[in-house]
Every structure is written in C-alpha cells, then in structure tokens.
C-alpha cells in the first residue's frame, strides 16, 4: 500500500483528539502526565529526548496507544552531533557543497545512532548584519551560495531515502526573513518588500524544498507586520502553493503563542487558529493547538480539512522515515569514528579564511620557539561554537595540543594572556609578553567565545571583546612576528588586528578538530582555501554592508577619500559614502588568500548574444603563479545593466574550487542560463529582461576579468 493510502486509512480511524495530538511537539521529557498523554495519542513528536528515554516513549506510542502511531524525535543537530564540524558560517566559507554534504551525512549518522529522526537544520536565513548572533548558524549573505549549500546539507542529512537508518529528516529554517532583524537584534521586526523577499530571502528555502527537505520551520519574526508563524502568504501561498511543498511545517519554539506578544492574536486560542490557518502543521513546545484546536473544530471556526491536511503531512514524514515499520530505527555508527574526525579536520581546514599574510605563514619547519597565546588557544569547549549540544569539550583537539604534538612540546611556550575572551583584566598579559619575548614567533588565538553568537546573542560592537586588543598590542610591541588566529561566530571588525598582526587567519568556530586543522594550515601541511561568505566591515557603523547592493544614483567612487569629520565636505562630492570612514569593506565577500598566487586570463563567452531560454558558457583560465600547491575559488558574478527595476551591482551565479600545483593552469567553465538572470518585476512575475549584462570571473566580489553579453528575444 502506498504512503497516501496508508494515511487515508489512518485519518479515517483517528478521532479529532488524536489528530490534534499529532500536531503537538513536546520539549524535553515533559512532566508526570507525559506517559499518559502518549498512551492517549496526545503527542506527535518530542524534541531533545534521546536514547533510552526516546525508546521508552516510542514503546508507549507504538504498543500502548490506540492506533500505535510512532513518535518523531527531533533535535538541533546543527553542525555535527558528537563530532562537531565548523559552525555553518565556517562551512559556508569552504564554498564546497561536497564538503558540507559530507558533514551533514556524518552528523545524521551519529545522531540517528542516538535515536534522532529529525534535525532542525539547515538554517538558510540570509544575514546581512553581523551584529545578529545567528549569522553563525547560516551560510552568510548570498542567496546563491546559501541555496547551493543549503541544498547540499539537506542531501547530506537525508540521502536519497529517509528510511535509511543512517539518515534523518532535515528542516530548513527559519521561514522566512528572520535574518533581516532590524538592528541585528534577534527576534526583531523585519520589513522586506516582496521583490526582495522573492529574490534574496526565499531562494535558499526553495532550493532546500527542491532538494527534498522533509520539513520547514516557521520563524519568530514579524514579517511586514505579519508574524512568520501566522503568515499565510509565505506559508500557504508561496511554500505550499507555488512550490508545492508536501512536507510538514513546524513552528519555532513557542512562536505560535508569541503571536500574542506580537499583538497579532488576542490569546492562545486565536494564535492557534491563526497558525493553522496560515499553514503551520505542528506546534513546537507551547500547547495552544492541544488546548484549543478541538473546540475550534467543534465550533466550526476551523475546517476539519485543515487539520487533516496538517496531520497528513506529519504522518507522511513518519512514513517516509519508515517509522511505522521500524519505530526504533537506529544504526550502529560509532560517535567520533576516525573517518568522522578526519572529515571534521578537512572541513575545518577548508573553512579557514586567510585574511592577511605578509609572508610569515606558513611557518617554516625550521621555526624555532613558538609562543602560543590567547584565551582560545586551549579551550576545547569554546572552539565548538554555538549549537553544539552533543559536542564535548574533552573530545576537542585544541590548537595548543595540535601544535605541541606537531612541533614538540619543548618548542612551545603557552600563555593564555587573559582568563577568557571577555575578560577585561590585564593581570595575565605580562606573562604572555614574556612568552613572546622568549619565542621566535607568536601565534595568538583571539576572538569570541561560543556564547557570543547564536540565538539571542547579538552584539552592538564587533571588535575583539575584553582586553584582547590590548593583549595583541602588547604582543606586537615585542617586535616578534605575530600571526593571529581569530575564532568567531561572525565577521568581526578586524582592522586594528590586521594592523598589528603579520598574518590573520579567520577560523570561525572550527569544531572538534579545529586544532589539528589550524596547525595544518599554520605549518603549511595544507594551504588555506576558505573564502568569506559574508562581507567584513571596517566598523560596525557600516553595517549592513553586503556586496550585492544596489548602485544608487550617486555611487561612491572606488577611490573616494575618507575625510575626517569637520573637514570641508567638498571632496566627498555628495556620493553615497561616509565622512569618517572608507565606504568599502575591510574584506569583500568571496575574499581569501592562500600560500600561492593565481592569475585569471583568457575569458571566453560562448556567445555575445544569448537567446531567452538558452544558456551560454563562460570560461577562463586560472593559473597558479606561486610556489605552493593551493586551491582557488573561481567566482562568476553578473550585473543586469538596465532593467525595469534597479538590479544589484553584482550577483554571484557560480563558483568552482580548483586545486592547482605551482605553475599549473586549469580552465574553469560556468553555464549561465537566462533563467539564472531572472528577478521579480514590479508585478512580481519572475522575468529575464532582454538587454545588456556585465559579468566577471575572478577571486572575489571586487575584481575579476570582465565581459559583456546581451540577452535577446
């Protein structure tokens, strides 16, 4: 019997109470009544219940409830389970869909072994504001990159068959617009015009749906006045209508009843009605559905078809996971298996972005004594980053441990310099300076602890917290060469760091194997290959700052001077810029150095006249002109030069990692279809308008070889 028939049969047998029960997700192991509730069919899903407890609850549901419908166990498996991979923003810096797919596969494998069926990932919220702490959990600022990587994560978690006990259901979140929180304050209001929503914020979700994402999560934010959890436009019209999504929509934690605080529902009853009518199928944590849907049905305020539709979607996922046939599904994967750790090491290596290097890195094998300094040099917990529930500090290999192993303990001097990242004291700085003086080179591990990013962890300042800059200044004053490794959950304002350091490597929060991966890069075992998935501002005052902006009528000149406030306005000439800081980012989107150099040449377009509905091929030669084997991430950008609505100055349309030996060259090729050039016009129709387009193939959002072509009817 097919899945839909099985659902029909079940729905025909279910009471309204049992139907509403399926729509309830309980957080944690609940209270004393939980077991009775499960026996009555009053719960469809749990989050954060694992192992034996999950198995015991499943037994009650399957063996002691009237219809024996299995429970669905969800958990935040965001960037690994026991083996923690780099935070998603770090993984995004790899520009490597294969790598993020593999990280998700391993996370699914370990989580499924512990009884997890469903993860609340990937987060594909576009984030243009690094103050927002949850930028750490997503793929950055670009819709194309987030779409490619989000889809890869979905494939990694789910594989091709959800019944595979090594796979789990994915959940694309937070639908939608959550990352556009005003001022970067988490949960804050968002205003996103429909065209921008459709061109920038929705595409990563659509890509996840196309990749087969089993579920989506509705967001906390109020979007254009309507809370995302009660938003019929985004949920019913776009997701379930236009995209024909047939999976389930779960609310975020209490986001149904938070519609009361939003001022969009009078009480829990109205909130429940609003959420179900809008298209939410399951309520996470709060119990407004459980408390009110049955009576709303009885009163005729809620049509039975809506409840049946929600329950159908929930049962569909349970059937797709094979839970009716194998409710206790597990696998025997060993957490922290050597191949998992090796994949995590590779992921961390590929995530690191080399921002500056005056030649200090890689350290020569003949390097003498090394001072390893900083609050993040030896903290196995903080290097895991936010949302690492099942990761354990003691499983981590820290940079200090990895460097000591690689160089020999006798060559390493360790001094933390500060008690922790946020410490404002200077007590430990002298010992760090003394260690630096005794060393030939200083490696300083600075940045943010894990608790400075993630949910509800927004920052108004993006510089190094505590007295870390003082520590760095003191280290630099010794005259010893200093390489700074920054661990962080977001782009920071690193100008003062780059000024003082000879080299800066951005490692994000690199996960369990962060230490060995960083050591590999510092010692030249591998060359850095990460690229920025989000623009790095010079100062928080520039935020929001993103590469795919509009041009304005008075675009800043590339060389527009930065004038000190108080000088005559004249030199600024009324451009869209600042008086007191360079308008340009410190490092652009897509940027990253390596231990070699690359040139681009021989740009070739297969045609200069592209017919609507057809594709052209863009090719260029990338040559490794340096002395190290290294990977370049070639990027394709386009600009629609004249359109019925203003279009961004650049949009990423392709990227390709190419690993080349010194002197080696390769041809990179990108296919560009006219559909890839489309946008939503004033009537909200997705169109590609004929006319001239500019394109670039190059190393980041700033430079590149340039070409032009025309789209013709």
Q: What order do you get walking across the sheet with 665-673 strand by strand? A: 598-605, 615-624, 665-673
Three-class SS state of 33: coil
Is the peptide bond preceding residue 414 cis, with omega within 30 degrees of 0?
Answer: no
298 contacts: CB under 8 Å, gap ≥ 6: 16
Q: Closer to ligand NOJ by CB, 173 or 198: give it.
A: 173
Three-class SS state of 550: coil
Residue 337 sits at the vertex; the CA angle it makes with 335 and 340, to the nearest 5 degrees, is 95
Residues written for the chain: 713
Give the integer Cα–Cα distance in Å for 377 and 400.
6
Shortest CB 27 distance to ligand NOJ, Å: 8
Shortest CB 646 distance to ligand NOJ, Å: 33
Which residue's C-beta sits nearest to ligand NOJ? 120
φ, ψ of residue 277 in degrees (nearest 5): -60, -35
DSSP state of 345: H
Q: Closer to ligand NOJ by CB, 47 or 636: give it.
A: 47
Q: Confirm whether 252 is a catalytic residue.
A: yes
Give the integer Cα–Cα distance in Å for 51 and 69.
19
Give the integer Cα–Cα distance in Å for 26 and 73.
10
Closest CA relative to residue 245, chosen from 255, 235, 253: 235
φ, ψ of residue 468 in degrees (nearest 5): -65, -35
Give the integer Cα–Cα distance in Å for 91 and 348.
8
Give the integer Cα–Cα distance in Å for 614 and 679.
16
Give the integer Cα–Cα distance in Å for 503 and 483.
5
- Residue 20: how many CB atoms within 10 A of its CB? 27
- Residue 31: how many CB atoms within 10 A of its CB? 9
User: 142, 252, 281, 520: which is the annotated catalytic residue?
Assistant: 252
Closest CA relative to residue 135, chosen from 588, 489, 507: 489
Give the integer Cα–Cα distance in Å for 404 and 408.
5
Beta strand pairing status for 609-611 and 705-712? parallel
Q: What residues line the site for ligand NOJ (CB under 6 A)?
A: 47, 76, 120, 173, 252-253, 455
Please name the residue that has the structure tokens 């003691």.
Answer: 394
- Residue 623: how many CB atoms within 10 A of its CB? 18
CA atoms within 13 A on the CB side of 565: 3
Which residues does the annotation mark as catalytic?
Answer: 252
């Amino acid at each position: 019997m097919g899945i839909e028939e099985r659902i029909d049969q079940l729905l025909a047998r279910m009471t309204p109470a049992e139907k509403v029960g399926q729509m309830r997700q309980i957080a944690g192991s609940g209270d004393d009544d939980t077991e009775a509730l499960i026996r009555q069919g009053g719960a469809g899903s749990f989050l954060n219940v694992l192992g034996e407890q999950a198995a015991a609850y499943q037994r009650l549901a399957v063996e002691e409830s009237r219809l024996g419908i299995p429970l669905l166990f969800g958990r935040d498996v965001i960037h690994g389970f026991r083996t923690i991979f780099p935070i998603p923003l770090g993984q995004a810096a790899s520009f490597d869909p294969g790598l993020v797919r593999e990280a998700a596969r391993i996370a699914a494998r370990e989580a499924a072994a512990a009884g997890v069926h469903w993860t609340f990932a990937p987060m594909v919220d576009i984030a243009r504001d690094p103050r927002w702490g949850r930028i750490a959990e997503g793929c950055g600022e670009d819709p194309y990159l987030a779409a490619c990587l989000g889809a890869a994560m979905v494939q990694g978690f789910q594989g091709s068959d959800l019944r595979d006990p090594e796979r789990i259901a994915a959940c694309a979140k937070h639908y939608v617009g959550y990352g556009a929180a005003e001022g970067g304050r988490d949960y804050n209001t968002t205003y996103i015009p429909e065209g921008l929503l459709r061109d920038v914020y929705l595409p990563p979700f659509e890509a996840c749906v196309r990749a087969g994402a089993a579920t989506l999560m509705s967001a906390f934010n109020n979007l254009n006045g309507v809370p995302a959890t009660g938003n019929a436009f985004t949920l019913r019209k776009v997701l379930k209508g236009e995209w024909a999504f047939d999976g389930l929509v779960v609310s975020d934690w209490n986001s149904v009843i938070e519609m009361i605080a939003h001022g969009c529902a009078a009480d829990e009853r109205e909130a429940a009605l609003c959420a179900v009518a809008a298209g939410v199928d399951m309520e996470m944590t709060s119990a407004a559905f459980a408390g009110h849907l049955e009576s709303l049905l009885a009163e005729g305020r809620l049509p039975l078809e809506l409840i049946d539709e929600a329950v159908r979607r929930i049962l569909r996922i349970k059937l797709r996971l094979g839970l009716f046939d194998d409710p206790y599904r597990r696998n025997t994967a060993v957490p922290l298996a050597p191949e998992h750790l090796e994949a995590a090491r590779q992921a961390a290596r590929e995530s690191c972005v080399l921002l500056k290097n005056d030649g200090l890195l890689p350290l020569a094998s003949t390097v003498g004594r090394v001072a390893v300094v900083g609050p993040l040099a030896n903290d196995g917990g903080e290097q895991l980053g936010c949302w690492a529930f099942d990761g354990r500090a003691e499983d981590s290999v820290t940079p200090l441990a990895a460097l000591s192993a690689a160089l020999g303990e006798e060559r390493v001097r360790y001094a933390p310099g500060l008690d922790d990242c946020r410490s404002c004291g200077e007590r430990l700085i002298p010992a760090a300076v003394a260690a630096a003086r005794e060393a030939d080179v200083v490696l300083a591990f600075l940045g943010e602890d894990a608790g400075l990013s993630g949910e509800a962890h927004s920052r108004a300042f993006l510089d190094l917290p505590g007295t870390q800059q003082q520590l760095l200044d003191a280290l630099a004053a010794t005259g010893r060469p200093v390489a700074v490794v920054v661990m962080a959950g977001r782009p920071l304002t690193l100008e003062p760091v780059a000024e003082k350091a000879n080299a800066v490597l951005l490692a994000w929060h690199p996960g369990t194997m962060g230490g060995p991966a960083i050591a590999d890069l510092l010692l030249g075992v591998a060359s850095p290959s990460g690229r920025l998935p989000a623009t790095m501002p010079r100062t928080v005052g520039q935020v929001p700052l993103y590469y795919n902006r509009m041009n304005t009528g008075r675009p800043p000149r590339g060389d527009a001077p930065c004038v000190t406030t108080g000088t005559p306005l004249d030199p600024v000439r009324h451009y869209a810029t600042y008086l007191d800081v360079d308008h340009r980012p410190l490092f652009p989107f897509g940027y990253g150095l390596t231990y070699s150099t690359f040139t681009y040449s021989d740009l070739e377009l297969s045609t200069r006249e592209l017919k609507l509905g057809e594709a052209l091929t863009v090719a260029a030669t990338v040559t490794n002109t340096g002395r190290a084997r290294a990977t370049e991430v070639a990027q394709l950008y386009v600009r629609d030069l004249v359109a019925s609505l203003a279009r961004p100055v650049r949009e990423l349309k392709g990227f390709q990692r190419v690993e080349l030996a010194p002197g080696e060259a390769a041809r990179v090729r990108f296919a560009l279809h006219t559909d890839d050039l489309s946008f939503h016009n004033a009537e909200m129709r997705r169109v590609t308008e004929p006319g001239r387009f500019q394109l670039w193939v190059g190393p980041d959002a700033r430079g590149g070889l340039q070409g032009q072509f025309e789209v013709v009817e």
